[in-house]
Structure 1
Amino acid sequence: MARGDQLSRQWKIIQTLVASTHGKTVPDLADRLGCTPRTVYRDLEALQAGGFPITTETRDNRSYWHILNAGRQQVPLAFSIPELMALYFGKDMLKTYRGTVFYDAIDSLLSKIEATLPSAYIDYLDRVRDRVDAGPAPRKDYTRSGPVIAELNRAIIDEKQIRMVYFSMGRQKESRRTVHPYRLRHVEDTLYLIGYCTLRKGVRTFAVDRIKSVTVRDEGFLIPEEFDLQAFLQDSFGIYQGPPVTVKIRFLPSVAGYVRERIWHPSQHLSDQADGTLIFTATVAGVEEISHWVLRWGAGAQVLEPAALRRTVADHAAAMAAHYADSPGDEDPDAV
């Protein structure tokens, strides 16, 4: 039998026992897993040998198998098995924030938990995690932003104003600002600060990795009662702000299936067409951010409305085409 099949079956046994209030008999488990009772007995013995808190009790002349609460295994908190698994896997999901308080905190917590568990238990967790791997992906390096993030957290919790030096990618220059920090928000592997900027006299978003320095001031601030973060962000197609605009985009059959797979925006409406195309409609904040999303689909997407978005996408597409008008690959390699 393949090792992966055995691991999958044992994981299903753990999930079944955790979800069961009164326990399960071996025949019940065998029927659920589609295997023989003898195989289930072997798996249960292997899990017990690995340190899992599995036990039996007899009721009405039948043996019922249970998995004890992880808290009885001297884990610092009474974590259930699924909660412990989620924490263990979550460490990989936070690789983006390595070197910051977010990653360091979960790393420290897991180290304390691991110190209380049998080595066989940890080996089992490692084997399962190898099959649910977050994997490497393009991401920002927040190692150098660790001190900045720690200060931002402190300012947000204590409701203190900050002075910061911020590099604007659009203007390609640094500026000094006083900000009332409201919230940190994670969007597509980027961490943003949302707060009131006294320089711009309004609520703005700042990419944390472009905050060059931050100083927490003694002066406090209060978030206005009328400010609603969800309302502030509801139209954005990610993080950027702008006037609400309704967009309508046609997707060809070659890419329509991929668009259907995800919820891209809370206001989206998908309409399947008789010719296999898909019409995507949503109300978003401005056209610049969604224009980049449209371009990622190449010729598989066509903007129908509004005219401003059509022009923006057309201008980007024309500029891209101009880059390849005299492509080096089209030249005769033997030409003098």
Structure 2
Amino acid sequence: MHLGLRWGAFATAMTLLMMTGLAGANPARWAAEGWRTDFSKQSVDLTEIISGGPPKDGIPAIDDPRFVTAAEADNLQPREPVIQLTVGGETRAYPLSILMFHEIVNDTVAGVPVAVTYCPLCNAAIVFERERDGKILDFGTTGKLRHSDLVMYDRQTESWWQQFTGTGIAGALTGKTLDVIPSGLVSWQAFAKRHPGAKVLAPPKNMSRPYGQNPYVSYDGSATPFLYRGEMPEGIEPMARVVVVRAAKTNEPVSIVSLAKLRKGGSLERGGYRLSWEKGQASALDTRDIGKGREVGTVSVTGPDGEPAVHDITFAFVAHAFHPEMEIEG
């Protein structure tokens, strides 16, 4: 089981880390685990990468996703969050109640290979194109974390990738970056109303998980993040939600605004991007029953062209860890 799934038992988790030596993980140990990754190629300090507990693919990605129509998805609650993705005119929903236990879905939408990803410890829901330099990559979970964020790997080269940035950080594809596809977290009720004929990810038939339940109860109300060793942001609580708006072509951050600020005003503009907030969506990381989580609302971001823009709804500590040069508007 992922240590993050037992984050509340912090003392137990840290004892396990010390007993197994996972906190001091290094390339020699990883090679002994069976990794074929070329760790001589890397773009980050490898000592920043620690184990989250499970082995390679211990959190199983979904490689053959099964879908039902919105009308058939009768197991979802009105306020629970789903990732809404539109590619080539085709729209699909990926419930966080499923991604919570799998973190990656390798899918193809309108002929475009995509990786739909979610890191619960960072509340980072990001969709990438899986094609890079003419090759289609399939992604799995390493069981490792960096800055408390999921480290993925591609099965073709076993290079390691940072989920929050979509960048190769170790292995043959170090320095490569995956293209991000605009997506957003919306409530199931809003999605079903707007897209009644759309496909909705259904639980895999060959796996049994407590879908619909949040294994990280009260995580987003905690004082500090789990398994994070970096600097904390100043002037804002580390677990406060923030909106990271990214430029369309470069994927570089344009602005970082606290959700509280956006929620108070309802909308604002930054660098030609318009951010809006409306109520109706529950936090997936609050109560045991995901659909009953506290109100966090739905954020939408449009670019200068009026089209949906790439953005993340994450925690302040994550935004600071990966973009320390950026100011977070509180």
TM-score by length of 1: 0.22
* Greater RCO structure (CA 8 Å; 6+ sep): 2
User: Highest Rg: 1 or 2?
Assistant: 1
Higher strand share: 2
